[in-house]
Amino acid sequence: MSHRLLRAATAALLGLSALAAQALPPQLFHPEWVLPGSDVKGPATGRAALPSQPVDLGTVRYERDGQRWAIGDFQSRASVKALLVLRDGQVVYERHRWPNGPQTLHQSWSMMKQLLSNLVGIAVQQGQIASLDEPMDRHAPALAINGFRGVTYRQALLMSTGVRYDEEVDRVTMFKQVIAHRVSFGVLGATLRDKTLAPELDRAWAPGSRYAYASIASQALTMALEGATKQPLHALISRQIWQPLGMPDDARVLADDQGQDFGLCCLFATARSYAIFGQWMAQGGRWQGRPLLNEAWVQRATSFDDPGAWRSTAVPRKAKTQELFGFAYHWWPLEGGRGDFTALGIHGQMVYVSPRQNVVVVRLSDDFSEGSHNEEAIALFRAIADRLKPLK
């Protein structure tokens, strides 16, 4: 088949697929069915085994919409696939909705961004990145081609790059083009690198001047981090997180057809692995007595301490009620003065952390409702934390 015929045939197939996809519900969007992945390996020995001490949470109630609800109500309303609660590092509650189970690898969606934040913190701690105020193009010179020129690590972490990007439109287009590049054997579409270095990503406003959530900023951050550390993202996750924490199960990171890992999303891990990640944060970056991540970094990354962190009033969520969620170093600090925070991914993926109570809640969902019941989830998680260990 000639090159021209291949292009035409591929375009026709992709066009039909796109039309079909428009009529399908979002739960049928699974990029991992088409794109490859990179393995994230835990340690060969010494894997963590979370101890269990079950607690009856059936009587916990939280208020929402003028009514009182129970934990079972939430799991039904919010299409929860897995819910796991830790207190002091022990599993006190764990439920999996069939066909999911303890070994199911759940899609993180944007919770990958919180892992990325921690890896940047470790790179700063180890001197591979001199400062958060260092421009990312120092370690990834190709970023100087568009609006990412001169943007610092801090500005990228705070989602204040100033780069022109429509999250709701451009993110979807990116996935379509990366998939097209894969299925057309490179004839159509684009790679992750192509999309990150696209000339249309010009500067819309001064970096640091306003908040604008842009997943492409996380991909630029990934390029810079990989340049600074001389390692691909999946290897960094293995070496700096999965192995030191003794993760009980291996994981996987989505990649494009060139082997470039997604840093903006798409880790696949078990509920217990996500719980251990949350427990690490609850302990201020320490694990088994070792400071794997500087405690000061954890505090700054997950709170409003950085002068550039965004309160919830500055964090617009299109057509959604999200009055609790601020934004710091790719983490979501919560309003209310409790010092709690969460990892957050689309369709109801959450790792909630309350360091003062040493409570972690993992929620993994197929919640395609507007807002994904995220604020309701926080009401439940705080009620659970207060039952397990009253806030002092």
| In the predicted structure, residue 66 carries a pLDDT above the cut 50 | yes
pLDDT at residue 321, as a whole number: 56
The predicted-structure confidence for 277-324, as pLDDT tens digits, reads as follows: 999 999 999 999 999 999 999 999 999 999 999 999 988 765 455 689
For 79, residues 6+ apart whose C-beta sits below 8 A from its C-beta are: 348, 365, 366, 367, 368
Query: Would you state the pLDDT for residue 323?
Result: 86
Confirm or reject CATH 3.40.50.1970 for domain 69-101+270-392, answering yes or no. Answer: no
DSSP code per residue over 3-45: HHHHHHHHHHHHHHHHHHHHTS-GGG--GGGTS-EEEE---SS
pLDDT of the residue at 4: 61
Quote the pLDDT of residue 65. 85
- What is d(CA 367, CA 348) in angstroms, rounded to the nearest whole number? 5
Asked whether the predicted pLDDT for residue 23 surpasses 50, the reply is no
* Average pLDDT of the residues in 44-53: 93
What is the predicted pLDDT for the residue at 20?
40
What is the rounded distance in angstroms from the CA atom of residue 34 to the CA atom of residue 357?
A: 42
Pinpoint the alpha helices (H) of the chain: 3-22, 71-77, 112-125, 153-157, 167-183, 192-196, 215-229, 233-237, 271-282, 295-301, 374-388
Cβ atoms of 206 and 250 closer than 8 Å: no
Residues carrying CATH 3.40.710.10, the chain: 69-101+270-392, 105-263
Q: Is the pLDDT at 254 greater than 60, yes or no?
A: yes
Q: What is the mean pLDDT of the chain?
A: 93
The amino acid that residue 21 corresponds to is A
Q: How far apart are CA 11 and CA 154, in angstroms?
A: 40
Residues 6+ apart with CB under 8 A from 210: 160, 162, 314
Note the CATH architecture for domain 105-263. 3-Layer(aba) Sandwich (3.40)
Mapped onto helix, strand or coil, the DSSP state of residue 133 is: coil
Decide: 163 and 202 in contact? Cβ < 8 Å: yes
CA atoms of 199 and 386, how far apart (whole Å): 50
Reported as a pLDDT band with limits 50, 70 and 90, residue 95 is very high
Q: What is the 3-state secondary structure (H, E, C) of 309-354?
A: CECHHHCCCCCCCCCCECECCCCEEECCCCCCEEEEECCCEEEEEE
User: What is the distance between the terminal CA atoms of the chain, rounded to a whole angstrom?
Assistant: 71
Taking CA atoms, 359 is separated from 41, 78, 86, 92, 135, in Å, by 26, 21, 6, 10, 36
Tokens coding 49: 């085994």
Is the pLDDT reported for residue 13 higher than 80? no
Distance CA 338, CA 340 (A): 5
Record the tokens describing residue 308, joined without a space: 């550039």
Cα separation of 381 and 239, whole Å? 31
Single-letter amino acid code for the residue at 96? H
**Arithmetic mean of pLDDT, 49-76:** 96
In percent, the amount of the chain with pLDDT more than 90 equals: 87
* pTM for the whole structure: 0.93
Q: What is the pLDDT of residues 321-363, one digit of tens each?
A: 568 999 999 999 999 999 999 999 999 999 999 999 999 999 9
Across the strands, what pairs with 85?
93, 361
Q: Is residue 186 over pLDDT 70?
A: yes
Tokens of residue 82, six digits: 């897995």
